[in-house]
Amino acid sequence: MMQCIKTITAAACFTAVAASAFAQDTVDIPIDQAGAVATQALLAGETAVAAQIAEAVLTQRPDDRAALVVVAAAAPRLNNPERGIETGARAWRLSDTPLQRYEAARLTALAAAEAERFTTAAFWLRLALLSAPYDAERARTIADGRQVSQRNPLQVQLSFSLAPSTNVNGGAETDISSAPGNPDGRLSDDALALAGWRASLGFGANYRVQQNETSRTTVGFSLQASRVRLTDDTSVPDEAFDTNSIEARLRHERLFADGLLGISLSRGQFDYRDLDLAAETTDFEKYDATRLFVDYRYPVSDRTTVDVFAGRELLRYDATGIGEVKRTILGSSVSYRLESGDRISTTYRFVGSDGDNGNYTSDDHSLSVSYGFAEPFGDVTVALGGGVRWADYPEYRLLNPVTGGRQDETVFANVNLGFPEASIAGFIPGIRIDANRTDSNVSRFDRESLGASLTITSSF
């Protein structure tokens, strides 16, 4: 006997059923046709009827994908988004084609957004991107992801880079140690430039605890770990350059008539290794950092934005002989958007450090410029950057005080390439190329490096 389901409804809902059925309060629908009837009811705007028919199908056929899709679409409109998430996820698992997976993932994301489960919604939008059939669907899903991200009080960041470098440890070019007012000597192996690979993994989260039309407050934390694999033949162990960090932060922003004021407070711990080269062993060392920053963004025009910032840092080292370092940071940047949509920015930054140990007392000035192209070159986005940095250490000493103090001058440049067409689930691979050259009157700090890193960024 043919299986049927019964439903109570208004006759007008059954546009696909025989006309004689329109006058009936109870209609027998063959279960094999019920999915199509439910779909047409949903398209006709009869959401409750569509959900009723589809739910009836699911009582007999729990894995009926068509019925699951109807419930996933209808449930959020009937104030039951959790049911939409449940049925949408099951429809996705039962999907056989990319188009089916795209449909189910988007419906699940919509239900999650209606339930204000924005992190869940972002996850399903990323699954939808994996199966998006055309560029238009991909662009639409990315735009939806950005809207969900803006509404989400929780922002999660995951970063990864893998970088080969000719000077992974920031070492000197030669093993000769020379400086004004000091006898010449030899540098240890770990102070020389060493080639290798550096892998860095970062995780962070920010949570918006308060927001209204004129202010916003967030709390957050970040974790960062870096590991090095040396490719040079050396007695220096890889772990000598391991670093780890953890930081907690609080930020408040307030909107004024002419700009945006931000105040940030953070506290962090940074771990590094102290190498005993003779024994080829390393010990963990650390310092704590407390930072207070104030910044202000002023939009001069539709195209030009000016930022100014100021901050104080207090670093406390556990290592004997270093002690505390107090820093003052001041700076400003100007960003200008050209008619083409390209953006050019320039930044000046000053860092004044006052250390218990004279070697940590310095004045540091830097000036940098960046240029971002609005349109990609083929399938590649391009941004360029570069600048100069001057650092003066008036109390620096080796065996004796350095006559005139240590003076460094650095020139640096970088190229950032993005490959959005190669993105996976909204994660865009990229390559960053960095080059820098430092000239110093203390030979330990004469150095140059060239490196390229694989980067991953999110489109939302």
Write the pLDDT tens digit of every residue in 283-318: 889 999 999 999 999 999 999 999 999 999 999 999
Contact 52, 34 (CB under 8 A): no
Amino acid letter, 215: S
Q: Which amino acid would we find at residue 163?
A: A
Cα first-last separation, the chain: 53
Residues 404, 323 share a domain: yes
**188 shares a domain with 42:** no
* Phi-psi map region of 390: left, alpha, beta (phi>0 left; psi -120 to 50 alpha): beta
Same-domain check for residues 206 and 132: no
Please state the φ and ψ torsions of residue 152, each to the nearest 5 degrees.
-75, 120
* Residues paired with 204 in a beta bridge: 157, 222
pLDDT of amino acid 235: 86
- The percent of the chain in helix, strand and coil, each rounded to the nearest 5, is 25, 50, 25
List the domain range (segments joined by +) for residue 194.
Answer: 156-458
User: What values do phi and psi take at 415, rounded to 5?
Assistant: -130, 130
Residues 86 and 194 reside in one and the same domain:
no
* Whole-number Å distance between alpha carbons of 271 and 63: 52
| Two structure tokens written together for 426 | 């909204």
Q: Per-residue pLDDT tens for 257-270? A: 999 999 999 999 99
Same domain assignment for residues 92 and 177: no
Q: Is residue 316 located within the same domain as residue 185? A: yes
Q: Tell me: do 120 and 191 sit in the same domain.
A: no
Q: How many structural domains does the chain have? A: 2
* pTM recorded for the entire structure: 0.84
* pLDDT of res. 386: 98
Q: Are residues 184 and 108 in the same domain?
A: no
Distances (CA, A) of 41 to 6, 69, 75, 223: 15, 13, 14, 51
Q: Which has the higher per-residue pLDDT, 279 or 328?
A: 328
- Joined together, the tokens standing for residue 263 give 């105040």
Tell me, what's the pLDDT at 26? 56
Domain of residue 123, CATH code: 1.25.40.10
Question: Which tokens in the block code for residue 441?
Answer: 């009157």
| CATH number, domain with residue 286 | 2.40.160.40
Residue 6 confidence (pLDDT) above 70: no
236 and 201 assigned to the same domain: yes
**What is the SS3 string spanning 156-191?**
EEEEEEEEEECCCCCCECCCEEEECCEEEEECCHHH
